[in-house]
Amino acid sequence: MDNTFMHPMHYQGRNDNARMLALTREHPEGHAHVADLPYRLCSWAFDNPANVGLWEDERGRLLAWAVLQPPFWTFEYGLHTDAPPDALAVILNWGDAQARTLLDTPYGRPAWFVPVPEGNEGRRQTLEAFGYRPQDTVENPWSQVTLALTADVVLPPCPVRDGYRLRQLRGEAEVPAYVSLHRAVFHSTNMTEGWRHKIIHHPAYEPELDLVVEAQSGELAAFCIAWLMDQPIMVDGRSSRVGQIEPIGVREENRRHGLAWAILAETVRRLRRMGAETVLVQTDNYRDRAYSFYQVAGFRIVEHITLYRKDFAPADWKSDE
């Protein structure tokens, strides 16, 4: 099909974010992030409209979107089932051009990664034709898994130990403390106050699902945010209303006190009370501790995700940050 049926449009902010989310949730097939997409749509990647591509049909219906996500080093996209056959090629051409344009900016990265859930052979072939290479068999492999906790798995009560208190985040007033904790947990400055404020104001945000653990000193020791979908999606061959945990973490000096168990169990309890039938979480292949933790809790793998990489700069490239 001629790609003139899919017209590029300029990204206009919050209203377009809502359209991107609606497209992905109405057509979730082949997308690595569906339930937790609001979290990613709030990132600082969207502060620069050049990071975002949109394509509409002649009636103004959104057929495809794409975003270069510097916090995750990922090139993410969404496709309507009515998008033309060459839609992914159009998106990848756009991505190549933008990746090179952004190189000498704070949004630039020397390489970008595209997450591809298993069973998407056509997309894999297109990515490889554009120079992307799978990262599951290289020297330092990177792949991901989606794990699911089904309704029949009962988590035992996991009260927090003395000296800690599990509660909801205190809204915007506690954003700076949350950002400090998030950065300490992941050893990264990717989380920003702007990103966290946007999360709190996103229509899909539920304050009941934004939990923290406070230490006796008043310092935040752990966090967990969850997302709940209204409409069911297919998980492991069955239709299910889904909640997803993204992100979760415990400050290093507060680990081995059962805080991860406590905040996970309470988050799952709240998700189920609000209607979730299946709770999802994703993790990387190299995060052995997280993977083992979820499996012991009763999560099981329902999907493997391969990361496809394309380099856009030499190995000694330095970002202009």
pLDDT the model gives residue 72: 98
Q: What end-to-end distance do the CA atoms of the chain give, in Å?
A: 41
If asked whether residues 154 and 139 sit together in one domain, one would say: no
pLDDT the model gives residue 209: 99
Q: With 80 as the cut, is the pLDDT of residue 174 above it?
A: yes
pLDDT the model gives residue 317: 63
* Structure-model confidence comparison of residues 156 and 79, the more confident one: 79
Residue 16 lies in a domain: yes
Answer for the pair 6, 65: CB distance below 8 angstroms, yes or no: no
Residue 321 lies in a domain: no
If asked whether residues 159 and 198 sit together in one domain, one would say: yes
Q: What domain range is 284 assigned to?
A: 148-305
Q: With 90 as the cut, is the pLDDT of residue 316 above it?
A: no
Tell me what percent of the residues of the chain surpass a pLDDT of 90: 91
If asked whether residues 169 and 299 sit together in one domain, one would say: yes
Phi and psi angles of residue 154, each rounded to the nearest 5 degrees, phi first:
-100, 120
If asked whether residues 64 and 123 sit together in one domain, one would say: yes
Q: Which of 253, 145, 265, 286 is nearest to 211 (CA)?
A: 265
Q: With 50 as the cut, is the pLDDT of residue 87 above it?
A: yes
pLDDT the model gives residue 176: 99
Q: With 50 as the cut, is the pLDDT of residue 2 above it?
A: no
If asked whether residues 170 and 287 sit together in one domain, one would say: yes
Calculate mean pLDDT across residues 77-90: 97
pLDDT the model gives residue 320: 53
pLDDT the model gives residue 234: 94
If asked whether residues 175 and 136 sit together in one domain, one would say: no
Domain count for the chain, please give it: 2
Calculate mean pLDDT across residues 47-75: 98
What separation in angstroms does the CA of 214 have from each of 142, 170, 303?
33, 11, 34
If asked whether residues 135 and 164 sit together in one domain, one would say: no
228-273 tens-digit pLDDT: 999 999 999 999 999 999 999 999 999 999 999 999 999 999 999 9
Q: What Rg, from alpha-carbon coordinates, does the chain have?
A: 20
Rounded to whole angstroms, the Cα distance separating 107 from 227 reads 27
Residue 316 lies in a domain: no
pLDDT the model gives residue 315: 63
Parallel, antiparallel or unpaired: strands 278-284 and 242-250: parallel
Q: With 60 as the cut, is the pLDDT of residue 86 above it?
A: yes
pLDDT the model gives residue 40: 99
Question: 130-163 burial string, b = 16+ CB within 10 Å, else e?
Answer: bebebbeeeeeebbbbbbbbbeeeebeebebeee
If asked whether residues 175 and 122 sit together in one domain, one would say: no
Q: What CATH number should be reported for the domain holding residue 24?
A: 3.40.630.30
If asked whether residues 157 and 297 sit together in one domain, one would say: yes
Q: How confident is the model at residue 54 (pLDDT cuts 50, 70, 90)?
A: very high
Q: How confident is the model at residue 76 (pLDDT cuts 50, 70, 90)?
A: very high
pLDDT the model gives residue 1: 42
Compute the mean pLDDT over every residue in the chain, rounded to the nearest whole number.
Answer: 95
Q: How confident is the model at residue 314 (pLDDT cuts 50, 70, 90)?
A: confident
Residue 320 lies in a domain: no
If asked whether residues 38 and 110 sit together in one domain, one would say: yes
Rounded to whole angstroms, the Cα distance separating 91 from 251 reads 39
Residue 317 lies in a domain: no
pLDDT the model gives residue 319: 60
Calculate mean pLDDT across residues 47-65: 97
201-220 tens-digit pLDDT: 999 999 999 999 999 999 99
What separation in angstroms does the CA of 32 have from each of 102, 154, 219?
24, 26, 34
21-34 tens-digit pLDDT: 999 999 999 999 99
Parallel, antiparallel or unpaired: strands 210-215 and 164-168: antiparallel
If asked whether residues 193 and 92 sit together in one domain, one would say: no
Q: How confident is the model at residue 3 (pLDDT cuts 50, 70, 90)?
A: very low
Strand partners, 211: 168, 224
If asked whether residues 189 and 297 sit together in one domain, one would say: yes
The type of residue at 197 is H
Residue 98 lies in a domain: yes
Q: How confident is the model at residue 156 (pLDDT cuts 50, 70, 90)?
A: confident
